[in-house]
Amino acid sequence: MSEQGVSVGIIGIGTYVPDRILTNHDLENMVDTSDNWIVERTGIKKRHIVEPEVATSDLAVYAAQKALVNAHVSADELDLIIVATATPDMFFPSVACLVQDRLQAVNAAAFDLAAGCTGFVYGVATGSQFIKSGLYKKVLVIGAETLSKIVDWTDRNTCVLFGDGAGAVVLSEVRSGYGILGIDLGADGSGGDHLKVPAGGSRIPATEQTVAGRLHYLSMNGNEVFKFAIKVMGEAAVKALDNAGMDYHSIDCLIPHQANIRIIQSAAKRLKLPMDKVMVNVDKYGNTSAASIPLALEEALEKGRIQHNDIVVLVGFGAGLTWGSCVIKWCKEENTIV
């Protein structure tokens, strides 16, 4: 990335997870699995699940309200709202428009972004460019998911992995030399079949047969996704660091997508990082897709694991298949949690 022009960073953050918790022991009563099996293979111990009447936009609004308070920004100051999600309330209007209305962000444009679990990083990268160009000053980026709505609770291979949640950040101009210093985004659409919801769109519209065939639930080739993730997580972080003129020695805190503890450990090994420099909370939330990185980022801030001048790397992978990473130099105005 060019070092010229406006510096853009995160000036506020907020997250939300539903109160209802589903533990591995609960899942033992639902499918043929065990707590030991899940923990050994994924690192997940529990996940948060929405009630039936709660939608993705509800979680997004809760997280956004907290982020605005944290940033000391009012909703009418927002110029743009980007929501990254794979589980929108409906095809249209977008979740971002629903959020705009409920926040009364009357001056903001709004759109959704679909990049799977990489969506939050894509959203931060996209939002930052609107500010760097001079078009906008304040951008709200939200990663929000209700994956429990599309998980097949009879499939023991996938239902143990996912949870619901939302995370939001406010992007704005920050002091020169701080904020987002490097970005790497990528995609390999040839792997799209490895992680998808087969039916419900224009290719396979909803019918009695698609519903009976359980084609409206998440389908995943776990082995292929795992191999992809092991390869791409470290590479994406390295490329973003290179774009920032840095290498792995510069990293103070790695915030990876929280999909699987073995994938996170592999990324840390690729970057030659000790695990005490890696934020891990997959045990508490499972894979919350586009919400996982902001959930982990806020927890790292709350625990004091990110300080002024620290180099923070966000990195994720997801459906598409996609990947993305960004390098942030944190400044103290950006890391106060309300």
Q: Which of 117, 159, 326, 331 is catalytic?
A: 117
Q: Is position 287 annotated as part of the catalytic site?
A: yes
Residue 62: CB atoms within 10 A of its CB come to 20
Name the helix (H) or strand (E) containing 318: strand 311-318
What is the residue type of 128? S
Q: Which of 24, 281, 287, 335 is catalytic?
A: 287
Q: Tokens 């806020």 — which residue?
A: 298
Q: Which of 70, 97, 159, 257 is catalytic?
A: 257
Measured distance CA(15)–CA(146) in Å, rounded: 14
The pair phi, psi for residue 81, each rounded to 5°, is: -125, 125
What is the residue type of 163? G
Q: Annotated active-site positions, please?
A: 117, 257, 287
